Chains A and B, each alone.
Chain A
Amino acid sequence: EDKVVQSPLSLVVHEGDTVTLNCSYEVTNFRSLLWYKQEKKAPTFLFMLTSSGIEKKSGRLSSILDKKELFSILNITATQSGDSAIYLCAVNGGATNKLIFGTGTLLAVQP
């Protein structure tokens, strides 16, 4: 059965800290791994990763994929209160173009 596992489930840090969120997966016919940020409404897209070892970066956020070990990490440096959200990892795989979501990591950034 295809599955995506995220860790930790929740995390509390102080502003300025650096955090690393983890996502491991077991999916047949892997195509891509995506990271989303969800605040009060629907998820907003952060990154899509298809190749191993190539870091994608956007401001203070970066992500990398390891297709051999079947995991990805999302790094956030110099965290701010606006980074508080649920971070969702999803894998596009299986027989059809559908996303399999992990349970998410709830990040709380305190002043």
Chain B
Amino acid sequence: GAVVSQHPSWVICKSGTSVKIECRSLDFQATTMFWYRQFPKQSLMLMATSNEGSKATYEQGVEKDKFLINHASLTLSTLTVTSAHPEDSSFYICSASSGLYNEQFFGPGTRLTVL
């Protein structure tokens, strides 16, 4: 089956610093990758959709200058949380899809804690 990895699996950082999270599709080419955020006891909220080689499409209410997304290759997308604050603490999950209407495969998630 399709495998998606995320790195790191958890990270603790100080307020004001930037954190980069990587999402990789290990055994398929992901034309589209998605970034979600999940707060405790809540469902997944889509943050943005990224297509390889083009700018990401952000959902309403998500600051694109704060959450920088890069999808430089068909197997790698990165999410950078810039100038992180405690309210950015959350579980960040990526998913990858090999085609426009194909199913999404989720990474294991990254737990971010901002002190």
Cβ distance A31 to chain B, nearest Cβ, rounded Å: 6
On whether A99 and B46 interact (CB within 8 A), knowing A41-B109, A42-B106, A42-B107, the answer reads yes
Interface pair B100/A97, CB less than 8 Å apart = yes
- Is A98 a contact partner of B109 (Cβ separation < 8 A)? no
Evaluate whether A41 and B108 lie within 8 angstroms (CB atoms) in the complex, with A97-B97, A98-B34 already known: yes
Q: Which residues of A contact B107 (CB under 8 A)?
A: 42
Q: Determine the chain B residues whose CB is within 8 A of the CB of A41 once the complex forms.
A: 108-109
- A34-B103, A97-B101, A98-B34 known; A43-B49 Cβ under 8 A: no
| Complex interface: chain B residues within 8 A of A42 (CB) | 93, 106-109
Docked pose: A43 CA to B4 CA in angstroms: 12
Q: Which residues of chain B are within 8 angstroms of A101 by Cβ–Cβ distance?
A: 43-46
Q: Is the CB of A99 within 8 A of B104?
A: yes
A43 and B106 in contact, given A88-B43, A88-B44, A104-B43 (Cβ under 8 angstroms): yes
Of A31, A32, A43, A97, the contact of B44 (CB 8 Å cutoff): A43
Closest to A99 in B: B104
A interface residues, Cβ below 8 angstroms from B = 31-32, 34, 36, 41-45, 48, 88, 90, 92, 96-104
20 residue pairs from A and B, CB less than 8 Å apart: A31-B101, A32-B103, A41-B109, A42-B93, A42-B106, A42-B107, A42-B108, A42-B109, A43-B44, A45-B106, A48-B103, A88-B43, A92-B101, A97-B49, A97-B97, A98-B34, A98-B46, A99-B46, A99-B104, A101-B44
